Structure 1
Amino acid sequence: MPAATRERAIEAAVELLGAQGVRALSHARVDARAGLPPGSSSNWFRTRRALLGGIVDWIAEKERADFDPAAMPVITHLDELIEGLCAMVELQSGPYAARTRARYALFVELAGDAELGEPLRRQRREFERWTERIVTAVGITDPVPATRAVMALADGLLLHRLTVDPDLEVRPTIERAIRALARS
């Protein structure tokens, strides 16, 4: 089976997971969603656990590529941080919404699975370190708790947009929170 088929299967699995949750995930449903012959996804991922592992790895890889700190503009001012956070929330809850929903579903599903959940947790730690460097660069004092607050704010806004109000205007909340952190 060519790599393109594997990629189609993983993309379909992420879409399925993001749209219908972990319980809907099966090889048969992935094959159907990807338009592949029955049994195709199980050629790459023999078990459901292997399929979950493939999804975790794919999500981490895509997010590293989409939000690669080396490819991002250097942020040194509060307004740039606000703009960047707004853009990230818009992307994660807009064009990347299925992937974001899938990631959250996997965080919950794999909370007790140290092995399968580690790539997601490692990715999270990388984004926390990146965010901490930005928080420090823009002059927010006490960067560790400030970073935790920024990450929690982004997660909360993402979850709200993905579940309750997809049209929520995020800028006022982000701007207020970031400016409050800068004053503290």
Structure 2
Amino acid sequence: MATTRERALEAAVRLVGEQGVRALTHGRVDAAAALPKGSTSNWFRTRDALIAGVLVWIAEQERAGLIAAMEPVRTGDELIDVMTGIIEEVTGRQAARTRARYALFLETANAPGAGSSMRSQRSMFETWIRERLALLGSPDPDTASRTLLATSAGIIVNRLTVSPGAPIRPAVELVVRASLARH
């Protein structure tokens, strides 16, 4: 059974992902999590502390999913499959969490230290992609990894906003194949 803190964080992510950052208040989190009044503020005294807690929680949840998905990749086709699966997950079953991540990132873009956990996770994922591309023979794994991540982010935003059913695999395949091509 989830702890009070976990229930509050899960509810906070749902609120932000479904209603936006303005919905993130201690009282609304308590209500959404079916917790007694004041429970969320026991864990997160201020709104800034709540936002920071939610960002860390999202990063921890996403990291667990990424680690499971980031199995050894031995071929370009396997990398395409893994990246397609990750994008399907974050724009499908985990769409509210992904919306919350983007909303909170934009809200806290100028706040010192607010997104360090997310940036750390991004760095870990970028390193994994760069290493896979290098092992698969990419002539420029640094540029290729940044391009694949930027393309993936664009697909994610597109699917979360204007085109929920937009195909994923063709764009990922195009970038991966181009990244591995010898010029």
Do they fold alike, i.e. is TM over 0.5?
yes
- Whether contact under 8 Å (2:159, 2:165) holds in the other structure is yes
Once superposed, which parts of structure 1, at least 4 consecutive aligned residues long, lie more than 4 Å away? none
Deviation at 1:72, TM superposition (A): 3.4
Which residue matches 1:24? Answer: 23
Tell me the amino acid that sits aligned with residue 180 of structure 2.
A
The alignment partner of 1:114 has SS state of coil
Which residue matches 1:114? Answer: 112
Structure 2: segments with no counterpart, 5+ residues:
none
Deviation at 1:73, TM superposition (A): 2.4
- Whether contact under 8 Å (1:82, 1:175) holds in the other structure is yes
Q: What CA deviation, in whole Å up to 9, does each residue of 1:131-158 have, x standing for no partner? A: 1111112211111111000000110001
Matches of 2:61 and 2:145, distance apart in 1: 23
Structure 1: segments with no counterpart, 5+ residues:
none
Which residue matches 2:79? Answer: 81
The alignment partner of 1:76 has SS state of coil
The alignment partner of 2:93 has SS state of coil
TM normalised by structure 1 equals 0.93
TM normalised by structure 2 equals 0.94
5 Å-filtered alignment, 1:1-184, equals 4-68=3-67, 72-183=70-181, 184=183
The alignment partner of 2:115 has SS state of helix
Aligned residues: 182
Tell me the amino acid that sits aligned with residue 176 of structure 1.
L
Q: What CA deviation, in whole Å up to 9, does each residue of 1:103-125 have, x standing for no partner? A: 11121111111222211111111
Tell me the amino acid that sits aligned with residue 46 of structure 1.
R
Matches of 2:107 and 2:120, distance apart in 1: 16
Matches of 1:72 and 1:129, distance apart in 2: 11
Deviation at 1:3, TM superposition (A): 6.7
Tell me the amino acid that sits aligned with residue 78 of structure 1.
G
Q: What CA deviation, in whole Å up to 9, does each residue of 1:4-55 have, x standing for no partner? A: 1110000000011111111221111111111112221111111001101110
CA RMSD of aligned residues (A): 1.6
